[in-house]
Chain A
Amino acid sequence: MAEKPIELPPELAARLKAEYVKDWRAELRRNPPVKERMKLPRQPMPQRGAGERGRDFLEVNRGLSPEAAAAEARRCLDCAKPGCVSGCPVSIDIPSFIKLVEKGEFIAAAFKIKETNALPAICGRVCPQESQCEAVCNLKKAAGVPVAIGNLERFVADYERAAGEVALPELPPPTGRKVAVIGAGPAGLTAAGELAKKGHAVTIFEALHEPGGVLIYGIPEFRLPKAILKAEVEYLRRLGVEIRYNFVAGKTAAIDDLKARGYEAFFIGTGAGLPNFMKIPGENLVGVYSANEYLTRVNLMRAYDFPAYDTPVFRAKNAAVIGGGNVAMDSVRTAKRLGAERAMIIYRRSRREMPAREEEVAHAEEEGIEFHFLTVPIRYEGDAYGRLASMTCLRMELGEPDASGRRRPVPVPGSEFTAPVDLVVVAIGQSPNPLLLETMPGLKVGKWGTIEVDPATMASSLPGVYAGGDIIRGGATVILAMGDARTAAASIDAYLKS
């Protein structure tokens, strides 16, 4: 959801201003003038046709060409008070990097982003820009269509990667202080990178056998190619970060055991790995998956390539995905690619309340996904073998606004109907995974199972223990997790130096 644009903190405003007043920026601003810039059309993101991509898992978007990127960058008005930066959870100096793109200095642009965001190739692809930076872009207010900030971020990160080995920042001498990062997801990877850059010895403890967390098990190849994640992790490795796989913190060893091994500070980024179900009849039938299981089988375990890979997944004729977020879009588009004749989104509210990124919804529509709004399943029916055969739903209508400000869906009496389905994916959100938290007495945990932290420092109730991402938020975005991790890394650095 959109973060409200806020007044920029003074140090950030000063940092932006120092760049803004540079001569080259001033000169660039004059030519072409604002009036002409405002007339330039937004550069479309080149993408593979829906027919071509509908049966494979290769990436949909192809990325901007250098010429298109420079042309898009020319649309940026280089505002004195840039709204975009206030919309970015990690306060990227967006005008500076875009103006470097306009000048053709793509590598310098990548460095500019990396001052505050370690994983731009990922954020450029998965951030909900339309509700963050692009939502508060001044060009959007003035001319209706914002600068394609996300597409530009993706472009410079891809350009840098394609240009060869990504340059390492100058590293300070090792401090000899050991920090444990729990979880190799977006938060953990970010925290590890930041701490390594401060000279600390960082080990990431990861439960699965590949790094990335939700980026590897959740987000499909067609939206975030694994090669990009691999490159980012390789960069961390070159920074000196060690990753221990097959390690479930709290089970394989407790936090206290790690303390005994010399780890002085901890960052917990274990995410929201506990799938929610609706608790309706028939939910345990064979053929009903949580989105986590469905996507993990396909993405992490490569079930799309069964039987070359051993892990199977159901290939359905009629697939229904329950939910309206990005995870639901990923699931339904996956089902379609795995051969479903009908792949349907079943969402209890209307289209405008759907939390998914606009681009994902558009791509889903192009690929022939059916959307059934104001519909909610109330039970699933099985065949004689306990396999899912159909679902019974109710139609809804929108009533009064609820706590989230969205109008609450209420059932329409007598609207019950049954439809044949042989695959259901429940994508109605996740809760924080309690596995580690249960083993940490004294750790303050909130009502929804999230770790309670001081939002200014990300410090938990236990000294030396910090947390960020979905384990404190319950279910948010990759970029918010990264923002938390940066804050926590700075706090951990200060803690180790105190």
Chain B
Amino acid sequence: MPRIIAQRRLVPNLHLIEVEAPDTARAAKPGQFVILMPDARGERIPLSIADWNAARGTVTSVFLVLGTATRKLALLKSNDEIPVFVGPLGRPTEIANFGTVVLAAGCYGIGALWPTARALRRAGNRVITVLDAKASYLVYWDDRYRRVSERLIVSSRDPGIGGGEYVAEKIKALAAAEKIDRVMAVGCTAFMRSVSEATRPAGIKTIVSLNPIMVDGTGMCGACRCTAAGKTKFACVDGPDFDGHEVDWDELFLRRKSYFDEEIQALCRWEKENLP
């Protein structure tokens, strides 16, 4: 079974997990994800790949501690084993020299967008990064992004940070000031929709990494169906990257909430059994 190399808190509620997976580490490309399962009774959940080390044979993800599966993950220690860690899945992000690219990342997306940031810089792009966080102590990996970005902006609804402007306002301001060739946004659904709406009027190509519920992650079940440009797509094999201006966001929101009640029920049960 796949072995945990490290699992630790990056900032409150956001954790990093590094897993021994030599084949996945060798094959991983920016924008891809893994499916994992924390224990034999757990759920299979997708996590974006945040980093990998082919020489060490390890793959790293960043996750938000939210439901039962991620709470179980957050308790794992190095040398623990998990029954499922499979990938890399999904189509890699398109990497080319687009010119000026604005990266918008929030929450787990700061980790998830890192391989893309690195690859875009290597491909010769001028990279501007907007990291969004609810508070200054929730920003992580800004040192990494600073290395590949010409500018790094932190946005927040916290008025103490950067004037309290949410990511959408920062993006609009950037677009008004100069020509932007592409925007990439990874974070929660609301975050990605906000960025997509901010760039829609100017028609700036905006790529988002969708995060629907998945089961197998190989196109077998269709749990992750979403609508892009009016057509049903399977995010696991047709994506996860889509044009943010073509995504049916309302449908994605509803489908992500499919098991809201059950998730709370499972979590309450788990907490009762596992928390002192």
Q: Is A207 in the interface zone, CB < 8 Å from B?
A: yes
B41 in complex: contacting residue of A292, A296, A308, A385, CB < 8 Å: A308
Cα separation A387 to B84 with both chains bound (whole Å): 30
B218, A273: Cβ atoms under 8 Å?
A: yes
Residue in B42, B216, B227, B255 whose beta carbon sits within 8 Å of that of A207 in the complex: B216
Nearest CB on B from A188, distance (A): 15
Nearest A-chain residue to B89, judged by Cβ: A251
Contact of B232 with A279 in the complex, beta carbons under 8 Å: yes
Cβ < 8 Å to B, chain A residues 257-295: 273-275, 277, 279, 283-284, 286, 289-290, 292-293
Which of B43, B86, B237, B262 interacts with A247 by CB under 8 Å? B86
Tell me if A306 and B262 are in contact (CB < 8 A): yes
Point out the residues of chain A lying under 8 angstroms from B44, CB to CB: 301, 311
Q: Which of A252, A387, A435 contacts B27 (CB 8 A)?
A: A252
What A residues does B109 contact at CB under 8 A? none
A307 cross-chain contacts in B, Cβ below 8 A: 262, 265-266, 269
Looking at chain A's contact residues, is the secondary structure mostly helix, strand, loop, or mixed?
loop
B244 within 8 A of A: no
Which residues of A lie under 8 Å from residue B237 when comparing CB positions?
Answer: 434-435
Q: Which of B41, B88, B222 contacts A252 (CB 8 A)?
A: B88
Contact B218 A286 (CB under 8 A): no
Q: Is B113 an interface residue (CB 8 A)?
A: no
> For window 281-323 of chain A, which residues contact chain B by CB distance below 8 Å?
283-284, 286, 289-290, 292-293, 296-297, 301-302, 306-312
Q: Give every chain A residue within 8 A of B87 (Cβ-Cβ).
A: 248, 251-252
Q: Is A433 part of the contact surface with B, judged by Cβ < 8 Å? A: yes
Q: Which of A247, A286, A306 contacts B23 (CB 8 A)?
A: A247
Type the 1/0 row for B39-74, where 1 means its CB is closer than 8 Å to any CB of A. 001111000000000000000000000001100000
Chain B residues with CB below 8 A from A44, complex form: none
Residue B225, interface by CB 8 Å: yes
In the complex where A296-B220, A310-B43 touch, is A283 in contact with B232 (Cβ < 8 A)? yes
Give every chain B residue within 8 A of A289 (Cβ-Cβ).
Answer: 222-223
Cβ contacts under 8 Å, A310 to chain B:
41-43, 68-69, 266, 270
Instruction: Kindly state the separation between the CA atoms of A246 and B222 in the bound complex, as whole angstroms.
Output: 19
Q: How far, in Å, is A206 (CB) from chain B's closest CB?
A: 10
Residues of A within 8 A of B26 (CB): 253
Tell yes or no: B98 within 8 A of A by CB. no
Q: Which of A301-351 contact B (CB under 8 A)?
A: 301-302, 306-312
Judge whether B255 and A286 touch: CB under 8 Å: yes
Residues of A within 8 A of B85 (CB): 246
> How distant is B20 from chain A, measured CB to nearest CB, in Å?
12
Q: Is there an interface contact between A293 and B221, defined as CB atoms closer than 8 Å?
A: yes
Residues in A whose Cβ lies below 8 Å from that of B232 = 277, 279, 283-284
B83 at the interface (CB under 8 A from A): yes
**A209 on interface, CB distance cutoff 8 Å:** yes
A312 CA / B265 CA spacing, docked (Å): 10
- CB pair B251–A284 under 8 Å, yes or no, is yes
Inter-subunit contact A252/B24 (CB<8 Å)? yes
B81: min CB distance to chain A, Å: 12
- Asked if B99 CB lies within 8 Å of chain A CBs, one says no
By the criterion CB–CB under 8 Å, are A284 and B227 in contact?
yes
Known: A252-B24, A252-B88, A292-B222. A208 touches B216 (CB 8 A): yes
- The reply to whether the CB of A386 lies closer than 8 angstroms to some CB of chain B is yes
Query: Are B215 and A275 in touch, CB under 8 angstroms?
Result: no
**Distance between Cα atoms of A310 and B87 in the complex (Å):** 21
Q: Is there an interface contact between B24 and A290, defined as CB atoms closer than 8 Å?
A: no
Whether B263 sits at the interface, judged by CB under 8 Å, is: yes
Q: Name the distance in Å between B34's Cβ and chain A's nearest Cβ.
A: 9
Q: How far apart are the CA atoms of A312 and B24 in the complex, in Å?
A: 28
List 24 interface pairs A-B (beta carbons < 8 Å), by A numbering. Answer: A247-B23, A248-B87, A251-B89, A252-B86, A273-B220, A274-B220, A275-B220, A275-B221, A279-B232, A284-B225, A290-B222, A292-B220, A301-B44, A306-B262, A307-B262, A307-B266, A307-B269, A308-B41, A312-B259, A312-B262, A312-B263, A386-B251, A433-B218, A433-B219
Q: Which 7 residue pairs across A and B have the least CB separation, nearest first? A: A386-B254, A312-B262, A293-B221, A273-B220, A246-B86, A290-B222, A310-B43
